[in-house]
Amino acid sequence: MNRVLQARRLGVDTYQEPVVFMRADCDICRSEGFSALARVRLTIGNASLIATLNVVHSDLLAAHEAGLSEAAWQGLLASDGAEVHVDHPEPVESFSAVRGKIYDRPLSAKDLGAVVSDIHAGRYSGLQMAAFLTACAGQRLDLDETEHLTRAMLAAGDTLHWDAAPVVDKHCVGGLPGNRTTPIVVAIVTAAGLTMPKTSSRAITSPAGTADTMETLAPVALDLAQMRSVVEREGGCIVWGGAMRLAPVDDVLIQVERPLDFDSDGQLVASVLAKKLAAGSTHVVIDLPIGPTAKLRSTADAERLGQRLSVVGSRCGVQIRLIQSDGTQPVGRGIGPAAEARDVLAVLKNHVQAPVDLRLRAIELAGAVLELGHAVAPGRGNALAAELLDSGQAWTKFQAICEAQGGLREPPAAACRHEIRARQPGVLRAIDNRKLARVAKLAGAPVAAAAGLELLVHVGDTIEMGQPLYTLLAEAQGQLDFAGAYAAAHPDIFTIEEAV
């Protein structure tokens, strides 16, 4: 029986999941009984992956062709007309552990190793990954499982080794729009002579990740050799971790998690720690913003997550220092990649209109990193951080890092802007971070780098009727309208109470 078809690049982008298009009347569909959404193994030469089948009932393809989506094409290193062997994939045995977890059977180190390795090899469908993420979401992973997941994610990628010690890092457990301290902290800390090879991720459920923001200022998709050269020259970098093979399964899961818009304590801890361990970090400061609409709702939540980070971190050999911070409102003015980048530049340049809240947070975090990394005596971190910022040494270092990464550039400006105004006067009591973040996402952030918003008020301000609360930013009118409609339908993003 002929199980070979000829590869054809269809130019269809299906994101992460490889898809193969095959004619219903082709030899293989007929003899193997494959039907739509079947999982099939494709092999070209030495490259092999599992793809989801879309069955074609038209002349879009010839019966001897296998139409490949971009993910399948690239994963198979295909060329037009190459012989594609098609057969049944082995059943994915590791998924039975996921099924067990749904019935509250704990996941062993072996289970999670197999799950992560199968995901890494492209053996899980999107549906299976969604089930795995959901089964592990909330509080469903215990400390042991979290440690196993961390080690499995670490093992599925490369690990960096640095001659310097300590190797410091910082991480913020998201949920606070605009809180873009990382580029500032790296500039301060490396200006003090510490080594901080920072790998950041793109947004999961937020309007911007550090990598998204930093990309508007300099190239971030560096490979390992490029990153190493930047760090050797400048002591630090701010690059996108996904361009390397550091805990790469994390990035695959993020693609599935994003449209679901939820997180998991265990997966969050594993994701953070695996990335840090893979980057060779030895000392990490973790910022935990707390607020009613932040990711962490209460001190209890922050302590629970912090505890998990510390314990699992210490088991895996990384020293953690936790900082709980105010998560009641956004930090800085901008929300969205380019808007946040402008805030970062203003702070580094000691601009008179630089957002004070962003500056103070960056100083506090940099101070903690300086102390944890033994660059300064305990209690003296903040003062040193402020000094490095005020003197311009941090800004000089930041420019040098950007140049080393490929060149400092200007963040893009939004083509479309629209002011959202207060519908009632009073005192601003609260801002709903989640809904405000959703507005920025509906406007196109983070995919559209210039999209997002600029916040013009803070909690505690006295607001006049009709006063602008924020400016919507978009790259296209359709997205501006769409975000504007959502904003108009949700005036409760801002709680404004009449002054008594």
Distance CA 23, CA 35 (A): 10
Amino acid at 212: D
144 as an active site residue: the answer is no
| Binding segment toward its own copies, per CB under 8 A, in 114-122, 218-226, 259-267, 421-429 | 259-267
Written as six digits, the tokens of 155 are 């093992």
Distance CA 356, CA 349 (A): 13
Written as six digits, the tokens of 190 are 């490396």
Any contact of residue 95 with its own copies (CB under 8 A)?
A: yes
Written as six digits, the tokens of 366 are 């940099």
Q: Is 16 strand, coil or helix?
A: coil
| Binding segment toward its own copies, per CB under 8 A, in 135-143, 189-197, 276-284, 372-380 | 135-143
Burial call 32-51: b when 16+ CB within 10 Å, e when fewer: bebeeebbbebbbeeebbbb
* Nearest CB to its own copies, comparing residues 234 and 250: 250
Q: Is the peptide bond before 166 cis (omega within 30 degrees of 0)?
A: yes
Catalytic residue among 111, 118, 169, 263: 263
From candidates 134, 159, 229, 467, binder to its own copies by CB under 8 A:
134
How many residues are present in the chain?
A: 500
| Binding segment toward its own copies, per CB under 8 A, in 43-51, 129-137, 145-153, 347-355 | 129-137
From candidates 62, 77, 102, 165, binder to its own copies by CB under 8 A:
102
Distance CA 439, CA 433 (A): 10
Number of residues forming the site for its own copies (CB under 8 A): 67
Any contact of residue 131 with its own copies (CB under 8 A)?
A: yes
CB of 253 to its own copies, least distance (A): 12
From candidates 12, 63, 316, 456, binder to its own copies by CB under 8 A:
12
Any contact of residue 54 with its own copies (CB under 8 A)?
A: yes
Q: Is 285 strand, coil or helix?
A: strand
Distance CA 134, CA 115 (A): 14
CB of 335 to its own copies, least distance (A): 17
**Going residue by residue from 348 to 387, which x/- string records binding to its own copies, judged by CB under 8 A?**
----------------------------------------
| Binders in 62-91 for its own copies, by CB under 8 A | 69-70, 87-88, 91
Q: Check: CB of residue 242 under 8 Å from CB of residue 202.
A: yes
Any contact of residue 208 with its own copies (CB under 8 A)?
A: no
Q: Check: CB of residue 391 under 8 Å from CB of residue 438.
A: no
Any contact of residue 35 with its own copies (CB under 8 A)?
A: yes
CB of 152 to its own copies, least distance (A): 20
Checking DSSP bridges between strand 65-69 and strand 283-290, what pairing results, if any? unpaired
Nearest to 437 by CA among 140, 213, 178: 178
Distance CA 67, CA 107 (A): 38
* Nearest CB to its own copies, comparing residues 162 and 482: 482
* Nearest CB to its own copies, comparing residues 297 and 321: 297
Written as six digits, the tokens of 373 are 């990394």
**Going residue by residue from 430 to 469, which x/- string records binding to its own copies, judged by CB under 8 A?**
--------x---x-x--xx--x------------------
The set of catalytic residues is 263
